[in-house]
Amino acid sequence: MQYSVKKVSLLLVFLFSCSTPAWTASAATFLLSKDTEAFGALQSHVIESDEQTLVDVAFENNLGYNEIEAANPGIDPWYPKKETKITLPTFWLLPDTEECFANLPGPYHTIQVGSFSEPVGAAKVYQNFIGEIDPQDQAYLRVEKHNQYYTVRSGLFSDIEEAKKYRDKIKKIFPDGILFSTHIKMEKIIYPANLPPLPVLVERPEPSCIIVNLAELRLYRITWKKEGLSLDTFPVGIGKYGTETIRGRFSIMEKLTDPVWFIPPSLQHKFPEHKKTVPPGPDNPLGKYALRLSTPDYLIHGTNKPLGIGRRVSHGCIRMNPEDIKELHSMTNIDEEVVILYQPVKIGEKDGNPYIEVHEDYLKTENSPQRAISLLQKHDLLDKADLSLMFQALKEKGGIPVSLTNK
């Protein structure tokens, strides 16, 4: 998916108490159309006094603690010193949106069973596919040319669940098949000469989806519009070690105002004055607003401890700043999709050039170079990328999109 960005509004007004900053208003809305996946712009700030911390600046600019710390290595977050110039990481790449927009009018869902730098490799896999797979499962089998790569792909589905069933069906023959979303471009297909009529796609009017990328501790609320994607983004706090936030695809089951917190048995000893529940009010860690997910024990909610935003400190729920959850609560709908994923490496395009955004892989689950190269290939950007710049970005983990060209 490729988008361009027009910044619609960016309003950040904050009120500080003498100790902990508190949000009074925040909004960051972007409109993305089809020529880039990057949005926002880097900014800078000069520390105004020895009393101002990076945490104060993060509050002022709707950033999480993790973001402003990663963007300013070597600077003490609690005592950055007066007149120190710091970077504000208000520039992002889109996270993976495939699961989020599974049922939108395009793209289709397909299986890639091989990718080769020479056509002979693609031709061999193509012939193996015909020899091993039942004829009824060969519909939309094709070879596509993307930059210098020849890819063998099969299947076109408007429903991602059907695509998953198809992937599982051919898995014994092609265990490395990759499921992803694509827009069919006939000029990319080099064989066969003609495909069957494309499947009919069912349209939905301006659907929305929430994506939470645990690796960057940031939430994106995306609405599909005719002119592109409308995007709002907010920093979050997530589960700590031992009570990590779950991953998967969910939906909003309930919208709560002034929620009562039912204290888990494992935590009741920490709140003896409240017994088993905490009523609405300043002592309630859920804040004033909450969204209950379709796995009922998990909420996206406010907080009475905003210093936890941009940190892995919760017992599994997703925390937001008070004004941010108020805004999200007002714009979301019951049954709206929520995708919680873990993507420490993101790849995107801006002005035709590849960018990479790297966050700490705190779960140690990814081979970062291999993953980055795979994503560049998937976005048809590998031939444009300077891999030395990629390796440098993977080493620094600055959490900011970095250009992979010297242009």
> 170, 191, 212 — which closes off a domain?
191
Whether 306 maps to a domain, the answer reads: no
> 59, 93, 127 — which closes off a domain?
93
Whether 392 maps to a domain, the answer reads: yes
Alpha carbon distance 337, 209 (integer Å) = 5
pLDDT tens profile 31-50: 887 667 889 999 999 999 99
Query: In degrees rounded to 5, what are phi and psi of residue 167?
Result: -60, -45
Whether 15 maps to a domain, the answer reads: yes
Percent of the chain scored above 70 by pLDDT? 83
Rg for the chain, CA atoms, rounded: 23
Band of residue 104 on the pLDDT scale cut at 50, 70, 90: very low
Cβ-count burial 103-120 (b if 16+ within 10 Å, e if not): bbeebbbbbbbbbbeeee
Domain count, the chain: 3
pLDDT tens profile 126-185: 888 887 777 777 778 888 886 567 888 888 887 778 888 888 888 888 787 777 666 666
Q: Which pLDDT score, from 0 to 100, does residue 130 have?
A: 80
pLDDT at 388 over 60: yes
Within 10 A of 180 (CB to CB), how many other CB atoms are there? Answer: 15
Same domain, 88 and 153: no
Q: What is the mean pLDDT of the chain?
A: 81
pLDDT tens profile 194-242: 777 777 665 555 778 999 999 999 999 998 877 778 899 999 999 888 8
Same domain, 115 and 86: no
Q: Which pLDDT score, from 0 to 100, does residue 15 have?
A: 26
Same domain, 118 and 183: yes
| Residue 317 is a catalytic residue | yes
pLDDT at 11 over 50: no
CATH number for the domain including 113?
A: 3.30.70.1070
Dig out the tokens for 257 from the structure.
């105002």
Which of the residues 100, 109, 209, 301 is marked catalytic? Answer: 301
Whether 134 maps to a domain, the answer reads: yes
Whether 396 maps to a domain, the answer reads: yes
Same domain, 113 and 50: no
pLDDT tens profile 323-335: 999 999 999 988 7
Band of residue 253 on the pLDDT scale cut at 50, 70, 90: confident
Whether 154 maps to a domain, the answer reads: yes
Dig out the tokens for 376 from the structure.
């560049």
> 191, 217, 232 — which closes off a domain?
191
| Residue 301 is a catalytic residue | yes
Q: Which pLDDT score, from 0 to 100, does residue 183 have?
A: 61
Q: What is the pTM of this model?
A: 0.70
Which of the residues 317, 329, 359, 379 is marked catalytic? Answer: 317
Which of residues 19 and 188 earns the better pLDDT score?
A: 188
Same domain, 88 and 127: no
Distance (Å) of CA 74 to CA 45, 84, 85, 107, 192: 16, 12, 12, 43, 56
Same domain, 11 and 51: yes
Q: Which pLDDT score, from 0 to 100, does residue 284 have?
A: 83
Q: Which pLDDT score, from 0 to 100, does residue 184 have?
A: 67
For residue 173, the enclosing domain spans: 108-191
pLDDT at 25 over 80: no
